């Protein structure tokens, strides 16, 4: 059972608050969809939750322990993090890329222990990449690379996974596949937090939703409670129509509002 708590997180850049006084309490079994317009502060909030960005005020605690007091390795073991559009810098094989996800578990020198080797094989199989294990990652399609990166993030079996737009650039088939995997991971008793733009997918698969608007948390609760027309209207400036939020057949449809004149 893992708990992740944020208390009064604030991040300022250039005199402007990117994230302002955000407090969240999350625990295992939740799949939290983090939504908000471009520039609402989703990525910054995720990076702070992951302990990669130091907040100007407030703190993040994993299981009651302040992340600022944890070593980099302890943080790496406590949570997995997947940034937006992850890329591979060298043409290594798919298998090697996934093994890199085990960096905090590995001994400083020497090869991969047999137990971890099995873990890699299992996760490759789970993400349908077993047949391409020896292929160079630079030759993969966008969808395959995204699956490989997800496998990389999950291979160490972190109790908490933070993913920044993991579905960006995926076609509908692979997007559904990807979000299904994230939900399944949460159902296995992990905590998954993902910044997402696909509102229908969020309404169908997320257990909880947090909405950011200009750095402020304007709603946080179960999908059913949060995915409502008035909240989406405030966050995205759209006229939204939501049906069946929190069920597998949920739909979110919207049209842009006329430009606001009151600022």
Partner 1 sequence: MVKRLILPVVAVLVLLACCLLSLLVGRVWIDPAVLADGLTTPRTDLAWLILFELRVPRTVLALLVGGSLGLSGAVLQGLLRNPLADPGLLGVTAGASLGAVIAIYFGLSASVALVTPVLGIIGAVLAAALTLAIGRNGTLTMILAGAAVSGLMGAGLSLALNFAPSPYAAYEITSWLLGSLADRGWDQVLLALPFMLAGWACLIATMRDLDALTLGEVQAESLGVNLGRTRLLALAGTALAVGSATAVCGSIGFIGLMAPHLVRPFVGHEPRRVLLPAAFVGALLLLVADIAARLIPSSLELKLGVLTSLAGTPFFFWLVLRLRRMAPS
**Residue among 22 and 98 whose Cβ is closer to partner 1:** 98
Closest approach of partner 1 to the CB of residue 19, in Å: 17
Closest approach of partner 1 to the CB of residue 49, in Å: 11
Closest approach of partner 1 to the CB of residue 8, in Å: 23
**Residue among 17 and 112 whose Cβ is closer to partner 1:** 112
116 binds partner 1 (CB under 8 A): no
Angle, helix 114-126 to helix 142-154, in steps of 10 degrees? 140
Report 11-70 residues binding partner 1 (CB under 8 A): 50, 52
Closest approach of partner 1 to the CB of residue 100, in Å: 6
**By rule CB under 8 A, what string of x and - marks binding of each residue 70-109 to partner 1?**
-xxx-xxx-xxxxx--xxxxxxxx--xx--xx-xx-x-xx
d(CA 27, CA 192): 9
Q: What is the rounded radius of gyration, in angstroms, for the C-alpha atoms of the chain?
A: 19
Closest approach of partner 1 to the CB of residue 76, in Å: 3
**Residue among 88 and 203 whose Cβ is closer to partner 1:** 88
**By rule CB under 8 A, what string of x and - marks binding of each residue 149-168 to partner 1?**
---x----------------
**Residue among 22 and 47 whose Cβ is closer to partner 1:** 47
Site for partner 1 (CB under 8 A): how many residues?
A: 32
Instruction: Note the residues at the interface with partner 1 (CB under 8 A).
Output: 50, 52, 71-73, 75-77, 79-83, 86-93, 96-97, 100-101, 103-104, 106, 108-109, 136, 152
């Amino acid at each position: 059972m893992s708990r992740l708590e944020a208390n009064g997180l604030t991040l300022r850049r250039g005199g402007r608050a990117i994230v302002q006084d955000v407090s969240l309490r999350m625990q295992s079994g939740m799949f939290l969809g983090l939504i908000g317009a471009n520039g609402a502060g989703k990525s910054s909030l995720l990076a702070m939750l992951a302990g990669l960005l130091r907040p100007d005020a407030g703190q993040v605690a994993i299981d009651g322990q302040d992340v600022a007091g944890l070593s980099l390795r302890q943080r790496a073991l406590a949570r997995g993090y997947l940034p937006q559009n992850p890329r591979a810098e060298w043409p290594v094989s798919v298998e090697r890329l996934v093994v890199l996800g085990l960096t905090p578990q590995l001994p400083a020198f020497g090869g991969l222990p047999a137990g971890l080797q099995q873990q890699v094989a299992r996760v490759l199989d789970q993400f349908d990449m077993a047949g391409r294990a020896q292929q160079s990652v630079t030759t993969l399609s966008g969808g395959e690379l995204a699956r490989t990166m997800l496998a990389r993030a999950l291979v160490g079996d972190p109790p908490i996974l933070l993913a920044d737009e993991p579905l960006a650039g995926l076609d509908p088939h692979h997007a559904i596949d990807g979000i299904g995997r994230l939900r399944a991971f949460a159902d296995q008793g992990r905590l998954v937090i993902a910044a997402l733009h696909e509102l229908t997918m969020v309404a169908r698969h997320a257990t909880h939703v947090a909405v950011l608007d200009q750095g402020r948390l304007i709603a946080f609760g179960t999908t059913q409670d949060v995915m409502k027309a008035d909240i989406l209207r405030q966050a995205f400036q759209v006229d939204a129509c939501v049906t069946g939020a929190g069920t597998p057949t949920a739909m979110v449809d919207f049209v842009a509002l006329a430009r606001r004149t009151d600022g």
